[in-house]
Chains A and B, each alone.
Chain A
Protein backbone atom coordinates (compact mmCIF):
# COMPACT_ATOMS: atom_id res chain seq x y z
CA UNK A 1 0.00 0.00 0.00
CA UNK A 2 1.29 3.39 -0.95
CA UNK A 3 -1.12 5.28 1.31
CA UNK A 4 -3.83 4.97 3.93
CA UNK A 5 -6.50 5.90 1.43
CA UNK A 6 -9.74 3.96 1.75
CA UNK A 7 -10.09 4.08 -2.03
CA UNK A 8 -6.72 2.40 -2.43
CA UNK A 9 -7.74 -0.32 0.03
CA UNK A 10 -11.04 -1.00 -1.74
CA UNK A 11 -9.29 -1.24 -5.10
CA UNK A 12 -6.48 -3.40 -3.72
CA UNK A 13 -9.06 -5.81 -2.27
CA UNK A 14 -10.43 -6.23 -5.79
CA UNK A 15 -13.81 -4.57 -5.27
CA UNK A 16 -15.47 -2.36 -7.86
CA UNK A 17 -14.86 1.03 -6.29
CA UNK A 18 -17.43 3.82 -6.07
CA UNK A 19 -16.69 7.51 -5.85
CA UNK A 20 -19.26 10.28 -5.94
CA UNK A 21 -19.13 14.00 -6.33
CA UNK A 22 -20.10 16.73 -3.90
CA UNK A 23 -19.81 20.39 -4.92
CA UNK A 24 -19.14 22.94 -2.15
CA UNK A 25 -21.65 25.81 -1.83
CA UNK A 26 -21.25 29.36 -3.12
CA UNK A 27 -21.23 30.80 0.35
CA UNK A 28 -19.85 30.24 3.84
CA UNK A 29 -22.38 27.51 4.55
CA UNK A 30 -20.83 24.54 6.35
CA UNK A 31 -24.30 23.12 7.04
CA UNK A 32 -24.95 22.93 3.33
CA UNK A 33 -21.76 20.88 2.88
CA UNK A 34 -22.85 18.46 5.61
CA UNK A 35 -26.39 18.30 4.25
CA UNK A 36 -25.21 17.26 0.77
CA UNK A 37 -22.50 14.93 2.03
CA UNK A 38 -25.04 13.16 4.29
CA UNK A 39 -26.71 11.73 1.16
CA UNK A 40 -23.47 9.92 0.35
CA UNK A 41 -23.05 8.21 3.72
CA UNK A 42 -22.32 4.54 3.23
CA UNK A 43 -22.69 4.64 -0.55
CA UNK A 44 -19.21 5.54 -1.80
CA UNK A 45 -15.57 4.86 -0.98
CA UNK A 46 -14.45 8.45 -1.49
CA UNK A 47 -16.25 11.74 -2.08
CA UNK A 48 -14.83 14.06 -4.74
CA UNK A 49 -14.93 17.59 -3.41
CA UNK A 50 -14.75 19.89 -6.40
CA UNK A 51 -12.38 22.86 -6.68
CA UNK A 52 -14.08 26.02 -7.98
CA UNK A 53 -15.99 23.84 -10.39
CA UNK A 54 -16.78 25.39 -13.79
CA UNK A 55 -14.52 28.28 -12.74
CA UNK A 56 -17.14 29.64 -10.32
CA UNK A 57 -16.00 30.66 -6.85
CA UNK A 58 -17.13 28.23 -4.18
CA UNK A 59 -16.03 27.28 -0.70
CA UNK A 60 -12.52 25.84 -1.08
CA UNK A 61 -12.21 22.16 -1.76
CA UNK A 62 -9.84 21.78 1.17
CA UNK A 63 -12.20 23.40 3.70
CA UNK A 64 -15.23 21.49 2.46
CA UNK A 65 -13.17 18.26 2.55
CA UNK A 66 -12.31 18.88 6.19
CA UNK A 67 -15.94 19.67 7.04
CA UNK A 68 -16.99 16.39 5.40
CA UNK A 69 -14.26 14.47 7.15
CA UNK A 70 -15.27 15.87 10.53
CA UNK A 71 -19.01 15.50 9.97
CA UNK A 72 -18.99 11.98 11.39
CA UNK A 73 -20.53 10.20 8.39
CA UNK A 74 -17.41 8.11 7.93
CA UNK A 75 -16.86 9.68 4.51
CA UNK A 76 -13.43 9.90 2.88
CA UNK A 77 -12.98 13.19 1.04
CA UNK A 78 -11.12 13.18 -2.24
CA UNK A 79 -9.55 16.58 -2.65
CA UNK A 80 -9.81 17.96 -6.18
CA UNK A 81 -7.17 20.49 -7.17
CA UNK A 82 -7.03 22.52 -10.36
CA UNK A 83 -3.87 24.10 -11.72
CA UNK A 84 -5.90 27.06 -12.96
CA UNK A 85 -6.04 28.79 -9.58
CA UNK A 86 -2.71 28.04 -7.88
CA UNK A 87 0.99 27.96 -8.57
CA UNK A 88 3.24 25.16 -7.37
CA UNK A 89 3.96 26.82 -4.02
CA UNK A 90 0.32 27.17 -3.19
CA UNK A 91 -0.54 23.64 -4.33
CA UNK A 92 2.19 22.08 -2.21
CA UNK A 93 1.22 24.16 0.79
CA UNK A 94 -2.37 22.95 0.43
CA UNK A 95 -1.23 19.35 0.04
CA UNK A 96 0.76 19.55 3.28
CA UNK A 97 -2.24 21.12 4.99
CA UNK A 98 -4.70 18.61 3.58
CA UNK A 99 -2.58 15.65 4.61
CA UNK A 100 -2.15 17.11 8.10
CA UNK A 101 -5.94 17.30 8.34
CA UNK A 102 -6.37 13.63 7.43
CA UNK A 103 -6.96 13.87 3.70
CA UNK A 104 -5.09 11.17 1.80
CA UNK A 105 -6.70 11.05 -1.65
CA UNK A 106 -6.62 13.72 -4.32
CA UNK A 107 -7.32 14.45 -7.97
CA UNK A 108 -5.02 16.55 -10.18
CA UNK A 109 -6.81 18.60 -12.84
CA UNK A 110 -6.11 21.54 -15.09
CA UNK A 111 -9.64 22.90 -14.59
CA UNK A 112 -12.18 24.64 -16.79
CA UNK A 113 -11.05 27.89 -18.33
CA UNK A 114 -11.98 31.05 -16.38
CA UNK A 115 -13.92 32.16 -19.41
CA UNK A 116 -16.75 29.82 -18.39
CA UNK A 117 -17.07 31.05 -14.83
CA UNK A 118 -18.10 34.05 -12.80
CA UNK A 119 -14.69 35.75 -12.95
CA UNK A 120 -13.90 35.84 -16.65
CA UNK A 121 -11.49 38.73 -15.97
CA UNK A 122 -9.18 36.59 -13.83
CA UNK A 123 -5.76 35.38 -14.93
CA UNK A 124 -5.42 31.62 -15.38
CA UNK A 125 -2.35 30.48 -13.43
CA UNK A 126 -1.36 27.14 -15.03
CA UNK A 127 2.15 27.23 -13.59
CA UNK A 128 2.01 23.43 -13.95
CA UNK A 129 -0.27 21.37 -16.13
CA UNK A 130 -2.17 18.40 -14.70
CA UNK A 131 0.55 15.94 -15.72
CA UNK A 132 3.33 18.00 -14.15
CA UNK A 133 1.14 18.29 -11.06
CA UNK A 134 0.89 14.48 -10.87
CA UNK A 135 4.69 14.28 -11.04
CA UNK A 136 4.93 16.81 -8.23
CA UNK A 137 2.48 15.01 -5.90
CA UNK A 138 4.15 11.67 -6.59
CA UNK A 139 7.59 13.18 -5.89
CA UNK A 140 6.32 14.58 -2.61
CA UNK A 141 4.98 11.17 -1.60
CA UNK A 142 7.62 8.77 -2.94
CA UNK A 143 10.77 10.84 -2.62
CA UNK A 144 9.76 13.16 0.19
CA UNK A 145 10.80 16.10 -1.95
CA UNK A 146 9.22 19.36 -2.88
CA UNK A 147 8.94 20.11 -6.57
CA UNK A 148 11.79 22.57 -6.17
CA UNK A 149 14.07 19.74 -5.05
CA UNK A 150 14.39 20.32 -1.31
CA UNK A 151 13.43 17.74 1.31
CA UNK A 152 10.05 17.82 2.97
CA UNK A 153 10.47 17.83 6.75
CA UNK A 154 8.92 14.95 8.69
CA UNK A 155 6.60 12.38 7.11
CA UNK A 156 5.93 12.99 3.44
CA UNK A 157 2.28 13.55 2.52
CA UNK A 158 1.08 10.14 1.33
CA UNK A 159 -1.59 10.95 -1.21
CA UNK A 160 -3.38 8.38 -3.33
CA UNK A 161 -3.22 10.26 -6.59
CA UNK A 162 -5.90 10.51 -9.21
CA UNK A 163 -6.30 12.13 -12.58
CA UNK A 164 -9.09 12.67 -15.07
CA UNK A 165 -9.39 11.25 -18.57
CA UNK A 166 -11.75 12.12 -21.36
CA UNK A 167 -12.02 9.31 -23.90
CA UNK A 168 -14.38 11.40 -26.04
CA UNK A 169 -12.43 14.60 -26.65
CA UNK A 170 -10.28 15.47 -29.64
CA UNK A 171 -8.23 14.93 -31.68
CA UNK A 172 -9.06 11.18 -31.58
CA UNK A 173 -9.38 8.16 -29.32
CA UNK A 174 -5.74 7.14 -29.93
CA UNK A 175 -4.40 10.43 -28.56
CA UNK A 176 -6.82 10.19 -25.63
CA UNK A 177 -5.33 6.81 -24.72
CA UNK A 178 -1.78 8.12 -25.16
CA UNK A 179 -2.60 11.01 -22.88
CA UNK A 180 -3.75 8.49 -20.29
CA UNK A 181 -0.40 6.74 -20.69
CA UNK A 182 1.36 10.01 -19.85
CA UNK A 183 -0.80 10.49 -16.78
CA UNK A 184 -0.08 6.97 -15.60
CA UNK A 185 3.64 7.47 -16.12
CA UNK A 186 3.46 10.77 -14.27
CA UNK A 187 1.97 9.05 -11.23
CA UNK A 188 -1.79 8.56 -11.53
CA UNK A 189 -2.82 5.70 -9.22
CA UNK A 190 -6.42 5.99 -10.34
CA UNK A 191 -8.38 7.64 -13.12
CA UNK A 192 -11.86 9.10 -13.14
CA UNK A 193 -13.26 9.49 -16.63
CA UNK A 194 -15.49 12.14 -18.13
CA UNK A 195 -19.21 11.22 -17.99
CA UNK A 196 -19.79 8.28 -20.30
CA UNK A 197 -22.92 8.31 -22.44
CA UNK A 198 -21.41 6.79 -25.55
CA UNK A 199 -20.47 3.35 -24.24
CA UNK A 200 -19.33 2.13 -27.68
CA UNK A 201 -16.74 4.88 -27.87
CA UNK A 202 -15.66 4.20 -24.30
CA UNK A 203 -15.15 0.55 -25.27
CA UNK A 204 -12.94 1.60 -28.17
CA UNK A 205 -10.83 3.66 -25.82
CA UNK A 206 -10.62 0.84 -23.29
CA UNK A 207 -9.46 -1.50 -26.01
CA UNK A 208 -6.46 0.73 -26.74
CA UNK A 209 -5.92 1.22 -23.01
CA UNK A 210 -5.77 -2.55 -22.52
CA UNK A 211 -3.40 -2.96 -25.46
CA UNK A 212 -1.09 -0.49 -23.80
CA UNK A 213 -1.49 -2.37 -20.51
CA UNK A 214 -2.56 0.81 -18.73
CA UNK A 215 -5.50 -0.78 -16.89
CA UNK A 216 -2.97 -2.85 -14.94
CA UNK A 217 -0.97 0.20 -13.88
CA UNK A 218 -3.85 2.41 -12.82
CA UNK A 219 -7.42 1.88 -11.62
CA UNK A 220 -9.94 3.21 -14.11
CA UNK A 221 -13.19 4.47 -12.61
CA UNK A 222 -15.85 5.00 -15.25
CA UNK A 223 -17.58 8.38 -14.91
CA UNK A 224 -21.38 8.31 -15.07
CA UNK A 225 -24.04 10.99 -14.69
CA UNK A 226 -27.79 10.57 -14.32
CA UNK A 227 -29.60 12.97 -16.63
CA UNK A 228 -32.42 14.89 -14.98
CA UNK A 229 -34.33 16.05 -18.05
CA UNK A 230 -34.29 16.19 -21.82
CA UNK A 231 -33.13 19.80 -21.49
CA UNK A 232 -30.07 18.68 -19.54
CA UNK A 233 -29.34 15.99 -22.14
CA UNK A 234 -29.54 18.52 -24.97
CA UNK A 235 -27.38 21.00 -23.07
CA UNK A 236 -24.64 18.42 -22.49
CA UNK A 237 -24.86 17.26 -26.08
CA UNK A 238 -24.59 20.72 -27.61
CA UNK A 239 -22.92 23.02 -25.11
CA UNK A 240 -20.28 21.09 -23.18
CA UNK A 241 -17.05 20.74 -25.19
CA UNK A 242 -15.66 17.22 -25.10
CA UNK A 243 -18.96 15.63 -24.01
CA UNK A 244 -20.44 12.91 -26.24
CA UNK A 245 -24.19 12.35 -25.75
CA UNK A 246 -25.61 10.07 -28.46
CA UNK A 247 -28.85 11.20 -30.11
CA UNK A 248 -30.67 8.04 -28.98
CA UNK A 249 -30.31 9.12 -25.34
CA UNK A 250 -31.73 12.55 -26.11
CA UNK A 251 -34.58 10.95 -28.06
CA UNK A 252 -35.33 8.51 -25.28
CA UNK A 253 -35.54 11.35 -22.75
CA UNK A 254 -37.66 13.42 -25.15
CA UNK A 255 -40.11 10.53 -25.58
CA UNK A 256 -40.58 10.33 -21.80
CA UNK A 257 -43.25 12.51 -20.11
CA UNK A 258 -41.64 15.40 -18.22
CA UNK A 259 -42.47 14.16 -14.73
CA UNK A 260 -41.03 10.74 -15.51
CA UNK A 261 -37.77 12.07 -16.98
CA UNK A 262 -35.68 12.04 -13.78
CA UNK A 263 -36.61 8.41 -13.25
CA UNK A 264 -35.78 7.57 -16.86
CA UNK A 265 -32.43 9.37 -16.50
CA UNK A 266 -31.55 7.15 -13.58
CA UNK A 267 -32.67 4.07 -15.50
CA UNK A 268 -30.41 4.99 -18.41
CA UNK A 269 -27.53 5.56 -16.01
CA UNK A 270 -27.94 2.16 -14.35
CA UNK A 271 -28.27 0.40 -17.70
CA UNK A 272 -25.02 1.95 -18.84
CA UNK A 273 -23.31 0.92 -15.61
CA UNK A 274 -24.36 -2.66 -16.21
CA UNK A 275 -22.79 -2.52 -19.67
CA UNK A 276 -19.64 -0.82 -18.41
CA UNK A 277 -19.21 -3.39 -15.63
CA UNK A 278 -18.61 -6.03 -18.28
CA UNK A 279 -15.75 -4.11 -19.89
CA UNK A 280 -12.40 -5.61 -18.95
CA UNK A 281 -10.15 -3.18 -17.15
CA UNK A 282 -12.83 -1.06 -15.45
CA UNK A 283 -12.16 -0.89 -11.70
CA UNK A 284 -15.18 1.05 -10.53
CA UNK A 285 -17.49 4.00 -11.00
CA UNK A 286 -17.34 7.71 -10.45
CA UNK A 287 -20.89 9.02 -10.09
CA UNK A 288 -21.36 12.69 -10.86
CA UNK A 289 -24.90 13.52 -9.76
CA UNK A 290 -24.50 17.26 -9.86
CA UNK A 291 -26.86 18.96 -7.38
CA UNK A 292 -28.57 15.57 -7.19
CA UNK A 293 -26.51 13.82 -4.52
CA UNK A 294 -29.68 12.35 -2.99
CA UNK A 295 -29.95 9.97 -5.95
CA UNK A 296 -26.49 8.40 -5.64
CA UNK A 297 -27.66 5.82 -3.09
CA UNK A 298 -30.51 4.73 -5.36
CA UNK A 299 -28.15 4.44 -8.35
CA UNK A 300 -25.65 2.38 -6.36
CA UNK A 301 -28.42 0.17 -5.01
CA UNK A 302 -29.85 -0.48 -8.47
CA UNK A 303 -26.39 -1.12 -9.91
CA UNK A 304 -25.75 -3.69 -7.21
CA UNK A 305 -22.88 -1.76 -5.64
CA UNK A 306 -24.16 -1.73 -2.06
CA UNK A 307 -23.19 -2.25 0.66
CA UNK A 308 -19.75 -0.70 0.32
CA UNK A 309 -16.90 -2.79 1.75
CA UNK A 310 -15.69 -1.72 5.20
CA UNK A 311 -11.92 -2.24 5.28
Chain B
Protein backbone atom coordinates (compact mmCIF):
# COMPACT_ATOMS: atom_id res chain seq x y z
CA UNK B 1 0.00 0.00 0.00
CA UNK B 2 0.92 3.66 -0.22
CA UNK B 3 1.98 5.03 3.15
CA UNK B 4 1.77 8.59 4.38
CA UNK B 5 2.16 10.76 7.47
CA UNK B 6 0.35 13.93 8.40
CA UNK B 7 2.11 17.22 7.83
CA UNK B 8 2.75 19.51 10.81
CA UNK B 9 -0.27 21.59 11.78
CA UNK B 10 1.61 24.88 11.28
CA UNK B 11 2.26 24.10 7.65
CA UNK B 12 -1.45 23.36 7.06
CA UNK B 13 -2.52 26.51 8.91
CA UNK B 14 -0.19 28.44 6.63
CA UNK B 15 -1.83 27.04 3.50
CA UNK B 16 -5.37 27.76 4.60
CA UNK B 17 -4.72 31.15 6.23
CA UNK B 18 -6.50 33.10 3.44
CA UNK B 19 -9.60 30.86 3.52
CA UNK B 20 -12.42 30.26 5.96
CA UNK B 21 -14.62 27.57 4.33
CA UNK B 22 -12.63 24.35 4.04
CA UNK B 23 -13.55 20.95 2.65
CA UNK B 24 -11.42 18.41 4.52
CA UNK B 25 -11.38 15.30 2.40
CA UNK B 26 -10.14 11.89 3.52
CA UNK B 27 -9.67 8.65 1.61
CA UNK B 28 -10.82 5.21 2.62
CA UNK B 29 -7.98 3.27 1.02
CA UNK B 30 -4.25 2.98 1.88
CA UNK B 31 -4.06 6.10 4.04
CA UNK B 32 -6.87 4.74 6.21
CA UNK B 33 -4.92 1.53 6.74
CA UNK B 34 -1.76 3.39 7.74
CA UNK B 35 -3.81 5.67 10.02
CA UNK B 36 -2.92 8.88 8.21
CA UNK B 37 -5.94 10.08 6.26
CA UNK B 38 -9.11 8.07 6.89
CA UNK B 39 -12.41 9.10 8.48
CA UNK B 40 -10.92 9.12 11.95
CA UNK B 41 -7.94 11.27 11.01
CA UNK B 42 -10.24 13.67 9.14
CA UNK B 43 -12.19 14.18 12.37
CA UNK B 44 -9.06 14.71 14.43
CA UNK B 45 -7.51 17.15 12.01
CA UNK B 46 -10.74 19.13 11.66
CA UNK B 47 -10.88 19.71 15.43
CA UNK B 48 -7.21 20.58 15.61
CA UNK B 49 -7.48 23.12 12.79
CA UNK B 50 -10.60 24.71 14.25
CA UNK B 51 -9.07 24.98 17.68
CA UNK B 52 -5.85 26.50 16.38
CA UNK B 53 -7.78 28.97 14.23
CA UNK B 54 -10.01 29.97 17.12
CA UNK B 55 -6.95 30.76 19.22
CA UNK B 56 -5.92 33.31 16.65
CA UNK B 57 -9.45 34.74 16.56
CA UNK B 58 -10.60 33.09 13.34
CA UNK B 59 -13.75 31.00 12.85
CA UNK B 60 -13.13 28.13 10.41
CA UNK B 61 -16.00 26.29 8.77
CA UNK B 62 -14.82 22.78 8.00
CA UNK B 63 -16.88 20.23 6.11
CA UNK B 64 -15.54 16.73 6.78
CA UNK B 65 -15.92 14.02 4.19
CA UNK B 66 -14.15 10.79 3.30
CA UNK B 67 -14.23 9.30 -0.17
CA UNK B 68 -14.10 5.63 -0.95
CA UNK B 69 -11.09 6.32 -3.22
CA UNK B 70 -9.71 9.74 -3.95
CA UNK B 71 -7.54 8.63 -6.90
CA UNK B 72 -10.64 7.67 -8.89
CA UNK B 73 -12.51 10.24 -11.03
CA UNK B 74 -15.82 8.54 -10.36
CA UNK B 75 -15.64 9.05 -6.60
CA UNK B 76 -14.10 12.49 -6.86
CA UNK B 77 -17.14 13.54 -8.90
CA UNK B 78 -19.34 12.90 -5.83
CA UNK B 79 -18.06 15.94 -3.96
CA UNK B 80 -18.83 18.55 -6.64
CA UNK B 81 -21.46 20.33 -4.55
CA UNK B 82 -19.29 20.32 -1.42
CA UNK B 83 -16.37 21.78 -3.36
CA UNK B 84 -18.67 24.48 -4.72
CA UNK B 85 -19.46 25.57 -1.13
CA UNK B 86 -15.77 25.67 -0.08
CA UNK B 87 -12.98 28.22 -0.57
CA UNK B 88 -10.32 25.53 -0.52
CA UNK B 89 -9.88 21.78 -0.21
CA UNK B 90 -7.48 20.11 2.21
CA UNK B 91 -6.93 16.56 1.04
CA UNK B 92 -5.92 13.78 3.38
CA UNK B 93 -5.29 11.35 0.52
CA UNK B 94 -1.89 10.39 -0.85
CA UNK B 95 -0.35 12.56 -3.57
CA UNK B 96 -2.39 10.68 -6.20
CA UNK B 97 -5.69 11.63 -4.57
CA UNK B 98 -4.64 15.25 -4.06
CA UNK B 99 -3.89 15.53 -7.77
CA UNK B 100 -7.14 13.87 -8.78
CA UNK B 101 -8.94 16.65 -6.92
CA UNK B 102 -6.67 19.36 -8.31
CA UNK B 103 -7.24 18.17 -11.88
CA UNK B 104 -11.01 18.06 -11.46
CA UNK B 105 -11.80 21.26 -9.55
CA UNK B 106 -10.77 24.87 -10.09
CA UNK B 107 -10.23 25.42 -6.38
CA UNK B 108 -7.04 25.44 -4.34
CA UNK B 109 -6.24 21.92 -3.08
CA UNK B 110 -3.64 21.45 -0.34
CA UNK B 111 -2.04 18.20 0.76
CA UNK B 112 -2.47 17.40 4.44
CA UNK B 113 -0.13 14.43 4.20
CA UNK B 114 3.42 13.70 3.17
CA UNK B 115 3.21 10.63 0.96
CA UNK B 116 6.08 8.37 1.88
CA UNK B 117 6.50 5.03 0.14
CA UNK B 118 5.00 1.76 -0.99
CA UNK B 119 5.31 -0.55 1.94
CA UNK B 120 3.81 -3.08 4.22
CA UNK B 121 3.11 -3.44 7.89
CA UNK B 122 6.01 -4.81 9.88
CA UNK B 123 3.93 -4.95 13.08
CA UNK B 124 1.10 -2.95 14.65
CA UNK B 125 1.77 0.74 13.98
CA UNK B 126 5.00 0.21 12.00
CA UNK B 127 5.28 0.29 8.23
CA UNK B 128 8.41 -0.17 6.14
CA UNK B 129 9.33 0.43 2.53
CA UNK B 130 9.13 -2.62 0.27
CA UNK B 131 8.82 -1.59 -3.37
CA UNK B 132 10.05 1.35 -5.44
CA UNK B 133 7.83 0.59 -8.42
CA UNK B 134 10.76 -0.05 -10.75
CA UNK B 135 8.45 -1.47 -13.39
CA UNK B 136 10.36 -4.72 -13.90
CA UNK B 137 10.20 -6.79 -10.78
CA UNK B 138 13.32 -8.66 -9.66
CA UNK B 139 11.79 -10.41 -6.67
CA UNK B 140 11.79 -13.74 -8.52
CA UNK B 141 15.60 -13.83 -8.46
CA UNK B 142 16.26 -12.11 -5.14
CA UNK B 143 14.46 -14.48 -2.82
CA UNK B 144 11.39 -12.27 -2.63
CA UNK B 145 13.23 -9.34 -1.00
CA UNK B 146 13.62 -6.13 -3.00
CA UNK B 147 17.18 -4.81 -3.39
CA UNK B 148 15.97 -1.63 -5.07
CA UNK B 149 13.66 -0.36 -2.36
CA UNK B 150 15.34 -1.99 0.63
CA UNK B 151 19.07 -1.62 -0.04
CA UNK B 152 20.25 1.90 0.73
CA UNK B 153 22.47 1.83 -2.38
CA UNK B 154 20.04 -0.04 -4.66
CA UNK B 155 22.75 -2.70 -5.12
CA UNK B 156 21.59 -5.48 -7.39
CA UNK B 157 24.57 -7.70 -6.60
CA UNK B 158 25.19 -6.80 -2.97
CA UNK B 159 25.88 -6.94 -0.05
CA UNK B 160 28.23 -3.96 0.17
CA UNK B 161 31.17 -3.89 2.54
CA UNK B 162 29.16 -2.01 5.16
CA UNK B 163 26.76 -4.84 5.92
CA UNK B 164 27.37 -6.01 9.47
CA UNK B 165 25.33 -7.92 12.06
CA UNK B 166 22.35 -8.05 9.72
CA UNK B 167 21.88 -4.30 9.55
CA UNK B 168 22.60 -1.67 6.94
CA UNK B 169 25.60 0.62 7.26
CA UNK B 170 23.34 3.68 7.26
CA UNK B 171 21.61 2.83 10.55
CA UNK B 172 21.07 -0.14 12.84
CA UNK B 173 17.30 0.48 12.47
CA UNK B 174 17.30 -0.77 8.88
CA UNK B 175 17.96 -4.43 8.10
CA UNK B 176 20.50 -5.03 5.34
CA UNK B 177 18.44 -6.10 2.34
CA UNK B 178 21.20 -8.37 1.10
CA UNK B 179 21.50 -10.03 4.46
CA UNK B 180 17.78 -10.80 4.22
CA UNK B 181 18.14 -11.98 0.63
CA UNK B 182 20.96 -14.33 1.61
CA UNK B 183 18.92 -15.77 4.48
CA UNK B 184 16.01 -16.38 2.13
CA UNK B 185 18.24 -18.04 -0.50
CA UNK B 186 19.62 -20.30 2.23
CA UNK B 187 16.14 -21.12 3.44
CA UNK B 188 15.09 -22.01 -0.10
CA UNK B 189 18.31 -23.94 -0.85
CA UNK B 190 19.11 -21.51 -3.67
CA UNK B 191 22.41 -20.00 -2.51
CA UNK B 192 24.08 -20.85 -5.84
CA UNK B 193 21.70 -18.37 -7.50
CA UNK B 194 23.57 -15.59 -5.77
CA UNK B 195 26.49 -16.16 -8.16
CA UNK B 196 24.36 -15.02 -11.11
CA UNK B 197 25.13 -11.40 -11.94
CA UNK B 198 22.06 -9.22 -12.23
CA UNK B 199 22.95 -6.98 -15.20
CA UNK B 200 22.62 -3.19 -15.37
CA UNK B 201 19.02 -2.24 -14.86
CA UNK B 202 16.88 -0.68 -17.55
CA UNK B 203 15.56 2.33 -15.66
CA UNK B 204 13.23 3.22 -18.53
CA UNK B 205 10.59 1.12 -16.85
CA UNK B 206 11.21 3.09 -13.66
CA UNK B 207 11.33 6.87 -13.42
CA UNK B 208 14.22 7.09 -15.90
CA UNK B 209 11.73 6.90 -18.78
CA UNK B 210 9.64 9.85 -17.65
CA UNK B 211 6.07 9.69 -16.28
CA UNK B 212 4.62 6.24 -16.81
CA UNK B 213 1.24 5.10 -17.96
CA UNK B 214 -0.56 1.78 -18.19
CA UNK B 215 -3.10 1.33 -20.98
CA UNK B 216 -5.23 -1.78 -20.93
CA UNK B 217 -6.70 -1.83 -24.42
CA UNK B 218 -9.37 -4.30 -23.36
CA UNK B 219 -10.62 -1.97 -20.64
CA UNK B 220 -9.81 1.51 -21.92
CA UNK B 221 -12.72 3.57 -23.13
Q: Chain A residues in contact with chain B, CB under 8 A? A: 83-84, 88, 110-113, 115, 124, 126-132, 135-136, 147, 164-166, 169-171, 175, 178-179, 181-182, 185-186, 194, 241-242
Among B55-63, B148-156, B213-221, the stretch that binds chain A is B148-156
Tell me, in angstroms, the Cα distance from A241 to B200 when the chains sit together.
26
Q: How far is the CB of B201 from chain A (nearest CB, A)?
A: 8
Docked-complex contact A171 and B157, CB < 8 angstroms:
no
- Known A-B contacts A129-B157, A136-B200; A115 and B182 likewise in contact (beta carbons under 8 Å): no
Contacts of B191 in A (CB 8 A): 178
Contacts of A182 in B (CB 8 A): 157, 194-195, 197
Which of B160, B163, B199 is in CB contact (< 8 Å) with A132?
Answer: B199
Question: Cβ of B203 < 8 Å from any Cβ of A?
Answer: yes
Output the nearest chain A residue to B147 by Cβ-Cβ distance.
Answer: A129
Contacts of B169 in A (CB 8 A): 112-113, 241-242
14 other A-B residue contacts (CB within 8 Å) besides A83-B153, A132-B200: A112-B169, A113-B162, A115-B170, A124-B152, A127-B200, A131-B197, A147-B200, A169-B163, A170-B165, A179-B158, A182-B157, A182-B197, A185-B197, A242-B162
Q: How far is the CB of B97 from chain A (nearest CB, A)?
A: 26
Contacts of A181 in B (CB 8 A): 195
Question: Cβ of B18 < 8 Å from any Cβ of A?
Answer: no
Q: How far is the CB of A135 from chain B (nearest CB, A)?
A: 7
Tell me, in angstroms, the Cα distance from A111 to B154 when the chains sit together.
12
Docked-complex contact B166 and A171, CB < 8 angstroms:
yes
Contacts of B170 in A (CB 8 A): 113, 115
Docked-complex contact A132 and B156, CB < 8 angstroms:
yes
Residue of A130, A166, A170, A194 contacting most chain B CB atoms (<10 Å) = A170
Residue of B157, B161, B178, B199 contacting most chain A CB atoms (<10 Å) = B161
Which of B159, B176, B200, B203 is in CB contact (< 8 Å) with A179?
Answer: B159
Docked-complex contact B160 and A169, CB < 8 angstroms:
yes
- Known A-B contacts A113-B169, A113-B170; A171 and B156 likewise in contact (beta carbons under 8 Å): no
Tell me, in angstroms, the Cα distance from A227 to B159 when the chains sit together.
27
Tell me, in angstroms, the Cα distance from A111 to B162 when the chains sit together.
10
Tell me, in angstroms, the Cα distance from A258 to B72 when the chains sit together.
69
Which of A83, A111, A130, A170 is in CB contact (< 8 Å) with B163?
Answer: A170
Contacts of A115 in B (CB 8 A): 152, 170-171
- Known A-B contacts A110-B160, A132-B199, A135-B199; A175 and B154 likewise in contact (beta carbons under 8 Å): no
Q: How far is the CB of A213 from chain B (nearest CB, A)?
A: 13
Contacts of B178 in A (CB 8 A): 171
Q: How far is the CB of A161 from chain B (nearest CB, A)?
A: 15
